[in-house]
């Protein structure tokens, strides 16, 4: 599994340094009781929103829908709300993240841990995991408390 992680990191580095712009789509999936879906990956620490990169010839909404289903078995039942567009230059020049607030959805089945996803869970905004990724915590605060969205993901 370590060699797979090295290959993934190498390809990500290549893509992000050779392309002028990269774009990711992430979804803040909000349950009816206000809890928020978070994902813990096998290849990076902390809890994050489900999401990933927009591929060539793929719309941002298609990418979002694909990632939500792959990572959490979530299907949209209404169009997602684009909450913010963030620069993510700290690690990759030219990288941007589109964050969507998703309030109408269904989970078609309980996802099982796999090579990419170690765990998933729904958390109340006041009871987020201690090891949540700090930018994810900041975005949750923006969405739930009405704080003005930042320009930068970090």
The domain locations on the chain are: 2-145
The pTM is what? 0.85
The per-residue pLDDT for range 8-64, each reduced to its tens digit, is: 777 767 765 666 788 999 999 999 999 999 999 999 999 999 999 999 899 999 999
Q: Quote the pLDDT of residue 3.
A: 58
Model confidence over 69-91: pLDDT tens digits? Answer: 999 999 999 999 999 999 998 87
Question: Are the C-beta atoms of residues 23 and 60 closer than 8 Å to each other?
Answer: yes
Question: What is the mean pLDDT of the segment spanning 101-116?
Answer: 94
Burial of 57 (0-12, 13-18, 19+ CB in 10 A): exposed
φ, ψ at 85 (rounded to 5°): -120, 120
Q: Which of 48-52, 62-66, 99-103, 113-117 is least confident?
A: 113-117
Could you tell me which of 62, 58, 54 has the C-alpha nearest to residue 19? 54
Residues forming beta bridges with residue 122, ordered by sequence position? 37
> Which residues are registered as beta bridge partners of 121?
38
**How far is it, in rounded angstroms, from Cα 95 to Cα 92?**
6
Read off the pLDDT of each residue in 115-133 and give the average, rounded to a whole number: 96
Q: Which CATH architecture has domain 2-145?
A: Alpha-Beta Complex (3.90)
Mean pLDDT of 126-153: 95
């Amino acid at each position: 599994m370590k060699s797979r992680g090295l290959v993934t990191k190498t390809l990500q580095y290549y893509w992000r340094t050779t392309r002028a712009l990269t774009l990711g789509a992430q979804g803040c999936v909000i349950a009816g009781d206000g809890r928020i879906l978070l994902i813990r990956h096998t290849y990076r620490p902390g809890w994050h929103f489900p999401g990933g990169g927009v591929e060539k010839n793929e719309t941002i909404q298609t990418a979002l829908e694909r990632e939500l289903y792959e990572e959490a078995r979530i299907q949209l039942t209404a169009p997602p709300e684009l909450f913010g567009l963030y620069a993510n230059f700290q690690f990759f020049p030219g990288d941007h993240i589109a964050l969507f607030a998703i309030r109408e959805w269904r989970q078609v089945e309980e996802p099982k841990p796999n090579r990419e996803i170690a765990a998933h869970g729904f958390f109340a905004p006041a009871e987020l995991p201690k090891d949540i990724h700090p930018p994810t915590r900041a975005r949750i605060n923006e969405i739930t408390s009405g704080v003005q969205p930042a320009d930068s993901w970090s």
